[in-house]
Amino acid sequence: MGVQRLGRKWTLLILRDLAFLKSSRFGEILKNNPGLTPRVLARRLREMEVEGLISRTRTGLAVNYRLTPKGEDAVYILLAFLRYGLRHYVGPQPPVPS
Protein backbone atom coordinates (compact mmCIF):
# COMPACT_ATOMS: atom_id res chain seq x y z
CA MET A 1 0.00 0.00 0.00
CA GLY A 2 1.34 3.38 -0.92
CA VAL A 3 0.89 6.52 1.12
CA GLN A 4 -1.37 7.83 -1.66
CA ARG A 5 -4.09 5.44 -0.44
CA LEU A 6 -4.13 7.25 2.91
CA GLY A 7 -4.74 10.45 0.97
CA ARG A 8 -8.10 9.26 -0.33
CA LYS A 9 -10.92 11.45 0.88
CA TRP A 10 -12.22 10.47 4.35
CA THR A 11 -9.54 7.83 5.03
CA LEU A 12 -7.57 9.84 7.59
CA LEU A 13 -10.79 10.95 9.30
CA ILE A 14 -11.94 7.33 9.57
CA LEU A 15 -8.53 6.45 11.04
CA ARG A 16 -8.96 9.34 13.49
CA ASP A 17 -12.35 8.05 14.56
CA LEU A 18 -11.08 4.52 15.12
CA ALA A 19 -7.84 5.56 16.85
CA PHE A 20 -8.74 8.59 18.95
CA LEU A 21 -12.52 8.75 19.24
CA LYS A 22 -12.76 4.99 19.76
CA SER A 23 -15.68 4.81 17.33
CA SER A 24 -16.01 1.26 16.09
CA ARG A 25 -19.49 1.21 14.54
CA PHE A 26 -20.57 2.35 11.09
CA GLY A 27 -23.20 4.77 12.44
CA GLU A 28 -20.75 6.38 14.89
CA ILE A 29 -18.21 7.03 12.15
CA LEU A 30 -20.92 8.40 9.86
CA LYS A 31 -22.24 10.73 12.59
CA ASN A 32 -18.74 12.09 13.34
CA ASN A 33 -18.15 13.12 9.73
CA PRO A 34 -20.76 15.51 8.31
CA GLY A 35 -20.81 15.26 4.54
CA LEU A 36 -19.72 11.63 4.48
CA THR A 37 -22.40 9.50 2.86
CA PRO A 38 -23.19 5.91 3.85
CA ARG A 39 -22.23 4.71 0.37
CA VAL A 40 -18.80 6.36 0.47
CA LEU A 41 -18.18 5.19 4.05
CA ALA A 42 -19.04 1.60 3.14
CA ARG A 43 -16.70 1.74 0.14
CA ARG A 44 -13.87 3.33 2.11
CA LEU A 45 -14.21 0.78 4.95
CA ARG A 46 -14.08 -2.08 2.42
CA GLU A 47 -10.96 -0.60 0.80
CA MET A 48 -9.29 -0.08 4.17
CA GLU A 49 -10.06 -3.67 5.13
CA VAL A 50 -8.61 -5.01 1.86
CA GLU A 51 -5.51 -2.84 2.40
CA GLY A 52 -5.09 -4.35 5.88
CA LEU A 53 -5.64 -1.10 7.82
CA ILE A 54 -8.76 -2.27 9.65
CA SER A 55 -10.49 -5.50 10.57
CA ARG A 56 -14.23 -6.07 10.54
CA THR A 57 -15.92 -8.34 13.07
CA ARG A 58 -19.55 -9.30 13.35
CA THR A 59 -21.09 -10.14 16.71
CA GLY A 60 -24.73 -11.04 16.25
CA LEU A 61 -26.22 -8.10 14.36
CA ALA A 62 -23.44 -5.67 15.35
CA VAL A 63 -20.48 -5.00 13.08
CA ASN A 64 -17.37 -3.46 14.62
CA TYR A 65 -14.25 -2.05 13.00
CA ARG A 66 -10.82 -2.01 14.64
CA LEU A 67 -7.40 -0.88 13.58
CA THR A 68 -4.96 -3.62 12.65
CA PRO A 69 -1.27 -3.26 13.53
CA LYS A 70 -0.78 -1.83 10.03
CA GLY A 71 -3.57 0.67 10.69
CA GLU A 72 -2.01 1.62 14.02
CA ASP A 73 1.24 2.36 12.17
CA ALA A 74 -0.68 4.63 9.78
CA VAL A 75 -1.91 6.66 12.75
CA TYR A 76 1.63 8.06 13.06
CA ILE A 77 1.12 9.73 9.68
CA LEU A 78 -2.10 11.27 10.98
CA LEU A 79 -0.27 12.49 14.08
CA ALA A 80 2.36 14.13 11.88
CA PHE A 81 -0.37 16.02 10.00
CA LEU A 82 -1.95 17.11 13.28
CA ARG A 83 1.38 18.25 14.71
CA TYR A 84 2.13 20.22 11.53
CA GLY A 85 -1.30 21.89 11.63
CA LEU A 86 -0.96 22.80 15.29
CA ARG A 87 2.49 24.20 14.77
CA HIS A 88 1.75 26.23 11.65
CA TYR A 89 -1.97 26.93 11.32
CA VAL A 90 -3.67 27.25 14.72
CA GLY A 91 -4.86 30.64 15.86
CA PRO A 92 -4.26 34.03 14.35
CA GLN A 93 -0.99 34.32 12.54
CA PRO A 94 1.37 37.10 13.66
CA PRO A 95 2.01 39.81 11.08
CA VAL A 96 5.00 39.26 8.88
CA PRO A 97 7.70 41.88 9.57
CA SER A 98 8.39 44.20 6.62
Q: What is the pLDDT of residue 50?
A: 95
Number of H-type helices and E-type strands within the chain: 5, 2
Q: Is the pLDDT of residue 93 over 60?
A: yes
Sequence-ordered strand ranges (E) for 1-98: 54-59, 62-67
Query: pLDDT by residue (tens digit) across 10-52?
Result: 999 999 999 999 989 999 999 999 999 999 999 999 999 999 9
Q: Which class would CATH give 3-88?
A: mainly alpha
Residue, of 14 and 86, whose pLDDT is higher: 14
Q: Where do the domains of the chain lie?
A: 3-88
Query: pLDDT by residue (tens digit) across 59-72?
Result: 999 999 999 999 99
Most confident of 1-10, 65-74, 86-95: 65-74
